[in-house]
Amino acid sequence: MLRKNRLFTPGPTPLLPAAQVAMASANIHHRTADFRAIYSRTLADLKELIGTRNDVLLLVSSGTGAMEAAVSNLNSAGDKVLVLTAGKFGERWQELTTRFGCKVEILSAAYGQTFSPADIQAGLDSSIRTVFVQATESSTGVRHDVEAIARLLRSHAPDALLVVDAITGLGTTHLDVDSWGIDFIIGGSQKALMIPPGLAYCAVSERAWARMETTQFPRYYFDLRRERKAAAKGESAFTPATSLVVALAAALDYLRQLGNGDLGAGRNVLIAGAEICAEMTRAAAQALGLKLFASAPAAALTAITSPYAIDSGKIVAAFRDKFGAVVANGQAEMKGKLFRIAHIGYYDYLDTIGIIGALELVLDSLGLKVETGSGLRAAQQVWTKSNAGQLSRA
Ligand SMILES: *Cc1c(COP(=O)(O)O)cnc(C)c1O
Query: Residues of the chain with pLDDT > 70: what percent?
Result: 100
Residue 1: pLDDT above 90? no
Question: How remote is the C-alpha of 106 from its chain's centroid?
Answer: 22
pLDDT of residue 2: 87
Residue 376: pLDDT above 90? yes
Measure 4 CA to ligand 1 centroid, in angstroms. 26
Measure 11 CA to ligand 1 centroid, in angstroms. 8
318 CB neighbour count, 10 Å cutoff:
20
Asked whether the beta carbons of 301 and 341 are under 8 A apart, the reply is: yes
Q: Whose CA is nearest to atom 2 of ligand 1?
A: 167
Per-residue H/E/C for 248-259: HHHHHHHHHHHC
Residue 46: pLDDT above 80? yes
pLDDT band with cut points at 50, 70 and 90 for residue 394: low
Residue 265: pLDDT above 80? yes
Asked whether the beta carbons of 263 and 353 are under 8 A apart, the reply is: no
Measure 193 CA to ligand 1 centroid, in angstroms. 13
Residue 77: pLDDT above 90? yes
Asked whether the beta carbons of 266 and 256 are under 8 A apart, the reply is: yes
pLDDT band with cut points at 50, 70 and 90 for residue 392: confident
**Tens digit of pLDDT for each residue in 180-221?**
999 999 999 999 999 999 999 999 999 999 999 999 999 999
The Cα-based distances of 14 to 10, 11, 255, 342, 351 in angstroms read 10, 9, 15, 10, 10
Measure 390 CA to ligand 1 centroid, in angstroms. 35
**What contacts 103, CB < 8 A, 6 or more positions away?**
78, 79, 80, 81
Q: Whose CA is nearest to atom 5 of ligand 1?
A: 63
CB 349 less than 6 A from any atom of ligand 1: no
CB 11 less than 6 A from any atom of ligand 1: yes
Say which amino acid occupies 86: A
CB 134 less than 6 A from any atom of ligand 1: yes
Q: From 13, 60, 62, 202, give the residue whose CB has the most ligand 1 atoms within 8 Å, as the site to mutate.
A: 62
CB 9 less than 6 A from any atom of ligand 1: no
**Tens digit of pLDDT for each residue in 111-134?**
999 999 999 999 999 999 999 999
Asked whether the beta carbons of 328 and 316 are under 8 A apart, the reply is: yes
The pTM of the whole model exceeds 0.75: yes
- The residue among 125, 176, 123, 126 whose CA lies nearest residue 146 is 176
**Tens digit of pLDDT for each residue in 303-325?**
999 999 899 999 999 999 999 99
Asked whether the beta carbons of 26 and 195 are under 8 A apart, the reply is: no
Q: Whose CA is nearest to atom 14 of ligand 1?
A: 167
Q: From 64, 133, 195, 302, give the residue whose CB has the most ligand 1 atoms within 8 Å, as the site to mutate.
A: 64
Q: What is the mean pLDDT of residues 47-63?
A: 98
Residue 102: pLDDT above 90? yes
**Tens digit of pLDDT for each residue in 271-299?**
999 999 999 999 999 999 999 999 999 99
Q: Whose CA is nearest to atom 3 of ligand 1?
A: 63
- 191 Cα nearest atom in ligand 1: 1
Q: What is the mean pLDDT of residues 74-95?
A: 98
CB 138 less than 6 A from any atom of ligand 1: yes
Mean pLDDT for the chain?
Answer: 97
In this predicted structure, which of 138-147, 161-170, 383-392 has the lowest mean pLDDT?
Answer: 383-392
- Distance between CA 276 and CA 25 in Å, rounded? 34
In this predicted structure, which of 6-15, 342-351, 354-363, 379-388 has the lowest mean pLDDT?
Answer: 379-388
CB 167 less than 6 A from any atom of ligand 1: yes
Rounded to 5 degrees, φ, ψ at 140 are -125, -10
- Distance between CA 170 and CA 191 in Å, rounded? 8
Rounded to 5 degrees, φ, ψ at 57 are -120, 150
